[in-house]
Amino acid sequence: MKRTHIEDLQKGEEATIKGWVNIRRDHGKLIFIDLRDATGRVQMVVLPEHKEAGKIAETIRPEWIIEVEGVVNERPEKMRKDEQNGDIEIEAKKITVISEAETPPFEISENTGEINEETRLKYRYLDLRSERMQKNIKVRSEFIQKCREYLFKQKFTEIETPILTESTPEGSRDFVVPARLHPGKFYALPQSPQQYKQLLMVAGFERYFQLARAVRDEDLRADRGFEHTQVDIETSFVNQSDVLDLIEGMMVEVVESMGYTIKEKPFPRITYKEAMEKYGADKFDLRTEEDKEKGILAYAWVVDFPFFEKTDSGKWTFSHNPFSMPKEEHIEDLLKGENIENIITQQYDLVCNGFESGGGSIRSHRTDVLKAVYKVMGYSEEETEERIGHMLEAFKYGVPPHGGIALGVERNIMNLTNESYLREVQSFPMTRGGQTSVMKAPKELTPEQLAELHLRIDKENK
Ligand code: ASP
């Protein structure tokens, strides 16, 4: 018989279901088994009259995969439960074992959040079977699907950009990849598709988005890993409030259609200066204790960030994004290299429940402005050319005014699922020490691989 998913079971019908044994309970003559598949869970009962099924039921253990043929009965009134399929049970007539399983290193039917990280990640495929992890990963998928739907409705084109690219000035350390065909040269993994998405505006696409992987070699924290995914967006012929309206429209549609409540609409818009005065930080939580209990989402925009900040060595560097555009009234100062500390940029951050859920800017599409930014940061004309010459060149061929944003998928899902750690919303996260789950990276290369890549390992520094 054709397989029925657990969420589609109908009272009174015969059904064949396939899935994982969650728990088996022996009640003398009766054996109860809770069976799980990707769509839910159901209780089945093996009655003494179904002898063959009973014999098999006695042997099966948690996490075995079985096939069950039976009939969907209504549960006796006093046995009903207020949960998925709490009013039905399957009377199992035939059970077939599909795959036996060893006893897992931890209880999958429990909350796995408390289990030692190393064990959880070594056996991540088992951890992912747990109810909470299945839910979190599905919330993530739903969020992404809804963002996509919204953006397609708004006439965006989804475009992929390269993974092997040039080291870019996004402000963090790069992960690099040796180029076999170019001894001594390296690709870098993208810290963000920033420059490509701007080039796509030069290319005339006007509305781009991508579910982009971004890779940064930063110190790992609870809410920051080496890799993350962002809903990366860029659009032409817009000003700042156009972008804020567009993104706000998306967030409202996406999270409300997923059943969440937003505290305040339109999202409050406050300047960086006000935020610092009022909350002492540019990320703040507008929820009351009661809002927190109800799972309410409190979004706000922070705007008007200082363009530059001082580095430890006393030089100027960009605070957010070197490609952003100063406010109209500050362009003159930037071009003259005056009043640097007071230059405000058209950068905006989306804050939600105390965290940065996204950030972007209107870009500087004028080459004189872009060059002036690099000059303030102490680059010579040659150095600027070396870094962003390709952008300056591209902009010579006609560039529309443009701006965009990147929304951090993990950060947003952590807010939606009320999780505090990145590893709860990624399928195969790394350990705090930067070790991959299940697989064994980073690891050494063979001497042959090293030779092919023209690399020699400095043994003394190993
Ligand atoms: N490139 C920025 C980032 O990855 C986002 C943006 O300005 O669009 O954080």
Q: What is the 3-state secondary structure (H, E, C) of the chain?
A: CCECCHHHCCCCCEEEEEEEEEEEEEECCEEEEEEEECCEEEEEEECCCCHHHHHHHHHCCCCCEEEEEEEEEECCHHHCCCCCCCCEEEEEEEEEEEECCCCCCCCCCCCHHHCCHHHHHHCHHHHCCCHHHHHHHHHHHHHHHHHHHHHHHCCCEECCCCCCECCCCCCCCCCEEECCCCCCCEEECCCCCHHHHHHHHHCCCCEEEEEEEEECCCCCECCECCEEEEEEEEEECCCHHHHHHHHHHHHHHHHHHCCCCECCCCCCEEEHHHHHHHHCCCCCCCCCHHHHHHCCECEEEEEEEECEEECCCCCEEECCCCCECECHHHHHHHHHCCCHHHCEEEEEEEEECCEEEEEEEEECCCHHHHHHHHHHCCCCHHHHHHHHHHHHHHHCCCCCCEEEEEEEHHHHHHHHHCCCCHHHCCCCCECCCCCECCCCCCCCCCHHHHHHCCCCCCHHHC
Percent of the chain with pLDDT over 90: 91
Using a 6 Å cutoff on CB, does residue 192 contact ligand 1? yes
**What sign for the dihedral angle of Cα 318, 324, 327, 331?**
positive
Topology of the domain covering 129-422: BirA Bifunctional Protein; domain 2 (3.30.930)
On the question of a cis peptide bond just before residue 429, with omega within 30 degrees of 0, the verdict is no
What band does 462 get if pLDDT is binned at 50, 70 and 90? low
Using a 6 Å cutoff on CB, does residue 194 contact ligand 1? yes
Using a 6 Å cutoff on CB, does residue 404 contact ligand 1? yes
C-alpha 36/C-alpha 7 separation (Å) is: 10
Helix 131-153 to helix 240-257 angle (10° resolution) is: 140
239 CA to centre of ligand 1 in angstroms: 16
258 CA to centre of ligand 1 in angstroms: 26
Q: What average pLDDT does range 440-450 have in this prediction?
A: 96
Which strands make up the sheet holding 269-271, listed edge to edge? Answer: 157-158, 207-215, 227-236, 402-408, 355-362, 344-352, 299-306, 269-271
243 CA to centre of ligand 1 in angstroms: 13
Using a 6 Å cutoff on CB, does residue 359 contact ligand 1? yes
Using a 6 Å cutoff on CB, does residue 361 contact ligand 1? yes
Using a 6 Å cutoff on CB, does residue 347 contact ligand 1? no
Q: Is the pLDDT of residue 63 over 90?
A: yes
State the chain's mean pLDDT as an integer: 95
**CATH number belonging to domain 6-99:** 2.40.50.140
234 CA to centre of ligand 1 in angstroms: 10
Q: What average pLDDT does range 347-371 have in this prediction?
A: 97
- Summarised one tens digit per residue, pLDDT across range 188-225 is 999 999 999 999 999 999 999 999 999 999 888 877 88
What per-residue confidence (pLDDT) applies to 93?
97
347 CA to centre of ligand 1 in angstroms: 10
Counting from 1 in the atom list of ligand 1, the atom nearest the Cα of 230 is 4
Instruction: For ligand 1, atom 7, name the residue with the nearest CA.
Output: 360
What per-residue confidence (pLDDT) applies to 432?
87
C-alpha 310/C-alpha 172 separation (Å) is: 16
Using a 6 Å cutoff on CB, does residue 351 contact ligand 1? no
- Summarised one tens digit per residue, pLDDT across range 322-344 is 999 999 999 999 999 999 999 99
The residues spanned by each domain of the chain are: 6-99, 129-422
Q: What average pLDDT does range 302-327 have in this prediction?
A: 95
* Residue 270 φ/ψ region, left for φ over 0, alpha for ψ in the -120 to 50 degree band, beta for the rest: beta
334 CA to centre of ligand 1 in angstroms: 22
Residues in Cβ contact with 11 at an 8 Å cutoff, skipping those fewer than 6 apart:
72, 73, 74, 88
Which carries the bigger pLDDT value, residue 376 or residue 29? 376
Q: What average pLDDT does range 132-138 have in this prediction?
A: 97
Using a 6 Å cutoff on CB, does residue 358 contact ligand 1? no
What pTM did the predictor assign?
0.95
What per-residue confidence (pLDDT) applies to 28?
84
Using a 6 Å cutoff on CB, does residue 321 contact ligand 1? yes
Q: How many residues does the chain have?
A: 462
- Summarised one tens digit per residue, pLDDT across range 3-21 is 999 999 999 999 999 999 9
What phi and psi, each to the nearest 5 degrees, are found at residue 39? -105, -5
Q: For residue 227, which amino acid is it?
A: E
Counting from 1 in the atom list of ligand 1, the atom nearest the Cα of 170 is 1
What per-residue confidence (pLDDT) applies to 461?
64
73 CA to centre of ligand 1 in angstroms: 54
171 CA to centre of ligand 1 in angstroms: 11
The gap from C-alpha 330 to its chain's centroid, in whole angstroms, comes to 35
What per-residue confidence (pLDDT) applies to 169?
57
Instruction: For ligand 1, atom 4, name the residue with the nearest CA.
Output: 192
- Summarised one tens digit per residue, pLDDT across range 229-256 is 999 999 999 999 999 999 999 999 999 9
Instruction: For ligand 1, atom 8, name the residue with the nearest CA.
Output: 405
363 CA to centre of ligand 1 in angstroms: 11
Using a 6 Å cutoff on CB, does residue 360 contact ligand 1? yes
117 CA to centre of ligand 1 in angstroms: 31
341 CA to centre of ligand 1 in angstroms: 22
Q: Are 68 and 16 in contact (CB under 8 A)?
A: yes
Q: What average pLDDT does range 389-415 have in this prediction?
A: 97
Instruction: For ligand 1, atom 1, name the residue with the nearest CA.
Output: 194
- Summarised one tens digit per residue, pLDDT across range 32-59 is 999 999 999 999 999 999 999 999 999 9
Percent of the chain with pLDDT over 70: 99
- Summarised one tens digit per residue, pLDDT across range 387-401 is 999 999 999 999 999
